Amino acid sequence: MRRFFANKIYGVLAAGIILLAWYLVARFADLPRIILPSPGGVLQKFWLIWEDGYKGHSLVAHLADSLRRLFIAYGLAMVTAVPLGLLSGCLPKLRSALDPLVSFYRPLPPLAYYTVLVLWMGIDDGSKIALLFLAGFSPMYISSVAGVARMRPDYVNGAKTLGASSQRVFFLVIFPVALPDVFVGLRTSLGFMYSTLVAAEMVAAISGIGWMVLDASKYLQSDVIFMGIIVMGLTGIVLDGALNLLERKIVFWKGRE
């Protein structure tokens, strides 16, 4: 517990140093405010948008729209990628069929196939959710396969020797061993999908925190851009922290083998 709070203190100190450096550069460097707004200016813009909103939507509404798209896509990716990854780790033929497909699209930038998704699914939330789904599917799938692959064969052989059925071997032996790697994929996917929000909201959207940043960039409103980036970063920290806490509760044996 003491180490936990010490790490948090170091994080706060690092953030304070960055904030101080930002203030000093904005205060004394000969830079236009459009290039680097001051921390005070960004904070003032935050309160202004908090009270009056941005382009007809409050800041909470923008953030809620983004998180709604994110959570729908994240849930869909989790209930498909994780089971398929675990099964692929157990069934070589299924892995041979799915691995080439995942390896093909995984290196592609999201914008490379976003236009195709818009043509197929329209400009509503469907194409945006599909883009986020594809962005998060591959890390979950690959981590789930890797979790099964690191299973020691003697665990499975020992369970079968004691008379365990294939289902019991999967749920009581394979799944617990693979669960730490599954959570690695879940955390990786969450960060990647959240960073893809800007691309997902750049076509025909009228709300969302990513859309707000892109819209502000068109009018060179750097204070709104900085404010939106900070809100996105803090939200990402909260989401990752919640997932990390969930991992500690569920995978309580991690690191104690």
Residue 134 confidence (pLDDT): 92
Mean pLDDT lowest among 3-17, 140-154, 190-204, 219-233: 3-17
Quick check: 44 pLDDT over 70? yes
How confident is the model over 118-132, as pLDDT tens digits? 888 887 888 899 999
Q: What is the 3-state secondary structure (H, E, C) of 20-79?
A: HHHHHHHHHCCCCCCCCCCHHHHHHHHHHHHHHCECCECHHHHHHHHHHHHHHHHHHHHH
**Rounded mean pLDDT, 79-96:** 91
Taking the model in full, what pTM does it have? 0.86
Residue 31 confidence (pLDDT): 78
Residue 255 confidence (pLDDT): 61
The fraction of the chain above a pLDDT of 70, given in percent, is: 92
Residue 217 confidence (pLDDT): 86
**Count of CA atoms in the C-beta half-sphere (13 A) of 253:** 6
